[in-house]
Amino acid sequence: MLQDIKRGLAKSGVMAMGYAPIGFAVAATSYGAGLSPLNTLCMSLLLYAGSAQLAATHLLSLDASAASIILTVFVVNLRHLLMSSALAGYVSKLKRPQLAWFSFQLSDEAFAVHSREMAEGRVPSRVEMLTINMVLHGAWVFGALVAIYLEASGDTLARVGLDYAPAAMFIALLALLIRDAVQFVVAVASGLLAVSLHRAGMGTWSVIVTTLVGASLGTLGETWISRKYSSAISCINQGKYATRNSKVGICAESCGIISICYAGSVCIICTGCCCCSIKYTVGNGNSTISRKTFCPGSRSISLYSKTAPIYSNLPI
């Protein structure tokens, strides 16, 4: 358990240092709008959502009805429904009380950390996952406590350029998550769409619409690449590959998408940052194909092996 806690601290510690100033700025804004120290602290502790806290604070200052405040916060935080759905398989091993606690502390930044773990195929322990969320939540509340203390003491350090901290943190998280050209294109397109919709007056709905559109574009892009990759591999699976002395180029497209070229007994397939080396050896009238994946900074991993008859002619 201690090792799990250490790993959780290592993955969330640096982010927590950038999280506390955001919690400070949000709490300082709430306190400056007339909320009491206790209400300001409870909002950071229980609501735990910067954009929703600012929206609720603004509505409270306008003496809006409770129903309108609740509805606004619900719409602003609607993106958490999508985030939770994306992590459903990732947290399936959690018990119900742990799942409820995990969901309560799931923020945008925590989601980014967990998404990166999931994308890299790592499944941390329950303690590690909960530690990541608790550290970030604790940093948020700590920032709120500092803001309340300073504001109550009359030291209005407000608005010292901390408004850019959330954007800077999300840009850093996004840079860590981008793995290939498709994700880069989706990220840029989503950013431009979000800014355009916001400037068009859609407000918080711009985030929800952009999330749906961006996720759809990413899925379509990955599906398109997978189909091209599968169709190319199917040629090899069906025995439609080069003979011992052949040198043929197939699907000569950019390596960023997919490219296949034969050079003797070696077929190179590149997709994203990884290149697959497909080699076959000949013996007793059959050829054995083995596929390995090579990624920068990692060892080769055997993914595929197949034995098939040798084709004297290449049907292309």
Tens digit of each residue's pLDDT (9 = 90 or more) over 192-227 = 998 999 899 887 688 778 888 888 888 887 777 666
Burial 128-148 (b: 16+ CB within 10 A, else e): bbbbbbbbbbbbbbbbbbbbb
Q: What is the pLDDT of residue 253?
A: 31
Which residues of the chain carry a pLDDT beneath 70? 154-170, 172-173, 176-177, 204, 225-316
Q: What is the pLDDT of residue 296?
A: 37
Q: What is the pLDDT of residue 280?
A: 40
Is the whole model's pTM more than 0.85, yes or no? Answer: no
Please compute Rg for the chain using Cα positions.
26
Tokens of 183: 């994700």
Rounded CA-CA distance 43/40 in Å is: 5
- Regarding beta strands 259-263 and 274-283, do their DSSP bridges make them parallel or antiparallel, or are they unpaired? unpaired
Q: What is the pLDDT of residue 168?
A: 66
Burial 247-260 (b: 16+ CB within 10 A, else e): eeebeeeeeebbbb
pLDDT tens-digit profile of 86-136? Answer: 888 788 888 889 999 999 999 888 888 888 787 777 778 889 999 999 999
Q: What is the pLDDT of residue 131?
A: 93
Rounded CA-CA distance 136/115 in Å is: 15
Tokens of 48: 């735990």
Separation of first and last alpha carbons in the chain: 58
Residue reference for tokens 């930044």: 109
Q: What is the pLDDT of residue 132?
A: 92
Among candidates 266, 262, 306, which has minimal Cα distance to 287?
Answer: 306
Q: What is the pLDDT of residue 245?
A: 32
